[in-house]
Chains A and B, each alone.
Chain A
Amino acid sequence: MTWLRGLIAGVSSRILWALAILLALLIAAPALLGNYALSVLILMLYFACVGQAWNIMMGFAGQLSLGHALYAGLGGYAAAGLYFHYGLGPWLGVFIAIAAAVAAGAVVGYLGFRFSLAGVYFALLTIAFAEFTRIGFDNWPWAGGSGGLFLKVERNVTDIANLRGGPLLFYYAILILAAGTFVLCRALLESRLGRYWLAIREDAEAAQAVGVPVLRCKMLAVMISAALTAVAGVWNAFYYNNLFPETAFSVGRSIEMTLAPIIGGLGTLFGPIVGAVVLTGLGEIFTDASEIFHIAGLKQIFYGLALLIIVMYRPAGLWPWFAARLGIAERRP
């Protein structure tokens, strides 16, 4: 219980109550919402989850990854492939998925950090890895090649052991994932490792002078981030029942994962959640609008505009601004 107490230490009771109510509402949501609204909520939770994972690297440790689709894709392919070929359920498959993503993250991280690639050069490396993995999967028959890998759609069963079922099952699965990732990130941020990440983000050389093992901490950041992204990737593969290299490893998919934390507030815990809600919500509206008005790509234009406006007027993100208005500013550690 001490870790639990440590986890909520310094959090005001107002915020704890707000979180408890939010969680209760989320648990009750399927009873309150229709199918369409539930599917939007599922998307919000998914982007909050991967955004949180990506935020560990960029928001906490200050390392820009533009290739996170690599980890989600590897995770999804590993678990879906094992299920498709050998009937191995995703609860076991997820460990293989994590192992694959962590190994990939370790390679990318080591090459980047050992040779002191920083900023955009590191980002280019992450893109490169995602890209050649995409090309590799295009030509790998076991994974279905460019034709894709398909799981049988089974919406009318509820088979928790194999994560087969309808929206309700996937809703609760992603809710648990998003909540778990949130709690884990909070615990990490409050730990020694978390403080060391912040120090590295602020000034790696000064951090090293006060004893921070910079390379090891950066490696842990990329590996933990990759692991969490891979778990979300497994969920994603089983939810959509199909995987194509062209989309699973695409730069667009990677960029998509970065938007929620950037818009919500880099390095904050609520930023990725706020960003995911705002972006997904407005994105849905614009998707509908583009159908009604027959203007293709309205959603993409909206994403571009939203990023532009945030970067210009709220560079710290929506959440810090919003929280200050509410008087509950998240204590910047």
Chain B
Amino acid sequence: MSGARLEIDSIGKSFRGLRAVHDVSFAVPAGAIHALIGPNGAGKTTIFNMIAGVFAPDAGTVALDGKRISGLRPDRACDAGVGRTFQIVRPFKGLSVVENVTIGALHRRPRVAEARASAEAILSRLGLHDRRHQMAENLTLPDRKRLEVARALATEPKLLLLDEVMAGLRPTEIDVMVAFLRELNGQSGITILLIEHVMRAVMALAAQVVVVSYGEKIAEGTPQEIARHQGVLDVYLGEEDAS
């Protein structure tokens, strides 16, 4: 596993005339961790869905290591090296934890036994190995979030898209997840883009933060810069009455 450079070039998407994303551009260098933040409904997940192939952008392109991936089907985007989690977790509920991850691993390892071994290794790293024979539907929310990450990682992506994997976790669990992601990134050099509301995690992980509001990029910079950025504060806290 190694990382790939993600390049997003003025993408846009409308749903029945409603402009969800407009002219958003940014790049994530290979091996970097960046965050995508913004208020609810700002278009963050729509941007993820365009990277992961759920739908094609109306305008602009998404490229991974210089190769255009926008417009590909989700399974082709996965081929190209995009792994993603879902904001509302979507485990294969009726299957065991290890089978969930094995299905991800089968993508690059067609032999079931090899895929299963790979899945077990990933589960160990995420602390889910004890629970590997449980049905996914019986997991607690933090474990489901971890399963979501494990399944995406099993496809051996070059770019990992994490959609609010910290939401609903307790502070100690957030620290564990942050430590895991940092270690993963350090060891494999995988590129990570995360959508996150938990600032504690954003501050700890992201080298750069992209802020979107009403479908447009309003700021980009280091977490410290973003924390002081007036436009960002306005969006999050409301504009101060200047009069």
Contact = CB atoms under 8 A, between A and B. Distances in A.
A12 to B, nearest CB: 15
A198 B107 CA distance: 14
Interface residues of A, number: 22
Contacts of A199: 92, 95, 103
A207 B94 CA distance: 13
A289 B235 CA distance: 76
Contacts, number: 80
SS of A interface (majority): helix
B58 interface: no
Contact of A209 (B86, B93, B110, B115): B86
A190 B112 contact: yes
Contacts of A182: none
Nearest to B154: A210
Interface string B14-54: 00000000000000000000000000000000000000101
A196 B78 contact: no
Interface stretch (A150-158, A211-219, A231-239, A256-264): A211-219
For chain B, the bracket of interface size reads 20 to 34
Contacts of A159: none
Given A206-B90, A208-B74, A209-B84, A333 B95 contact: yes
Contacts of B95: 198-199, 202, 332-333
A166 B217 CA distance: 78
Contact of B78 (A190, A192, A210, A332): A210
A191 B102 CA distance: 12
Contacts of A332: 94-96, 135
Contacts of A186: none
Interface in B64-119: 73-75, 78-79, 83-84, 86, 90-96, 99, 102-104, 106-107, 110-112, 115
5 contacts: A192-B110, A203-B92, A203-B93, A210-B104, A211-B75
